[in-house]
Amino acid sequence: MEKATPPPDGVYVPVPTFFKSFDKYGYKQPLDLVAQAEHTLLLARNGITGLVLCGSTGESVHMTQEERIQLISTQKKELVDNGFDKVVLMAGTASQNVDETLKTIADSKAAGADYALVLTPSYFASAGGYSEEGLRSWYVAVANDSLLPVLVYNYPAVTNNLQLSLSLMKQLATHPNIVGCKLSHGNMSHHLIISSSPEIDHSGFRVYTGLGQQLLPLLLSGPGAAGAIDGSAAYFPKTLLRIFALARKITTAGGGVTAEDWKEVHALQCAYSEAEEWVVKFGTVGIKEGVNQMLGISVGLDGGRLPFCETHVRKEFDRYRPAFEAVQEFERKL
């Protein structure tokens, strides 16, 4: 098996899934594909590299398989019909068993996805049931038969605090159908090591941070650093894209970098990081509220599907509003 091609470096948005209101439809709100398309095209017009559909932010665990595929296929069509066929689509796979993961990947490819973002299995993690060898074998089994190139998704906050070891990540990076990883945790040492280690062929294994707060330090860290897959970019895409562009200039332009470049990228990263504290605290429902507040795109009165309930989040937003408005000012100027 030849090494699969990694996704392009850049900024990806793990988009929320838009549902119609609980007040009208009860616990089984249908997808709001009109709002979804409005958001998809807004991001595409602002230059986003790609989208993650049916990931953690997308509430894939609250959706049926049919809804996941409908979401991917409709958003792919919207992109193609509006001239954005180069926008990359990653499909999330939140499953505990190999066969179901492979079925989700196959269905996602048929619907138009380009890559699979494969969340670590974790049901027995807190009970000490998983060894490094078991996790390696699980990912290898998926990658061997996956119809899409695989990115390892390491998100301890939703996987019983399971943190994949550096030795395991180095092993997985050698698989020809594993082309990168999303690291959704605050351990910058792991980001740096995985993006810099001489044991990894960085041309075939790219490292994305799951927190835009960490984009600048990641891109300064090593040759494997590829970008971000970040929730706040759902409403602040231009700011994170500008941070990416400036960081790339700093790491590739040598003497062409100016003091003004450093000043701008530090100001943008600081403001963006302050606003992202909202996401750190409130996660998916926080991102949905941010979309509602900053873009005016309706997410329904309740934001997500049960057991999500957004009422408590909306009450908290005013405390974070100044941080949001600071980044919004950058967005207006970019």
Please state the separation of Cα 31 from the chain's center in Å: 20
Residue 109 annotated in active site: no
18 contacts: CB under 8 Å, gap ≥ 6: 31, 32, 33, 35, 36, 39, 297, 298, 299, 300
326 exposure class (CB count in 10 Å sphere: 0-12, 13-18, 19+) = middle
Q: What is the DSSP letter of 297?
A: -
Q: Which of 182, 208, 235, 272 is catalytic?
A: 182
- DSSP per position, 41-93: HHHHHTT-SEEEESSTTTTGGGS-HHHHHHHHHHHHHHHHHTT-TTSEEEEEE
289 contacts: CB under 8 Å, gap ≥ 6: 282, 299, 303, 310, 313, 314, 317
Please state the separation of Cα 199 from the chain's center in Å: 25
Residue 28 annotated in active site: no
Q: Which of 153, 155, 208, 235 is catalytic?
A: 153
210 contacts: CB under 8 Å, gap ≥ 6: 14, 155, 182, 183, 184, 185, 228, 229, 230
- Picking from 311, 248, 235, 305, the residue whose alpha carbon sits closest to that of residue 276 is 235
Is 311 part of any known ligand binding site? no
Helix (H) or strand (E) segment spanning residue 34 = helix 33-45
Is 57 part of any known ligand binding site? yes
* Tokens, residue 123: 């049901």
Q: Number of H helices and number of E strands within the chain?
A: 11, 8
Whether the bond into 307 is cis, omega within 30 of 0: yes
* Sequence ranges of the binding site for pyruvate: 57, 229
Catalytically active residues are 153, 182
Q: Residues forming the annotated binding site?
A: 57, 229
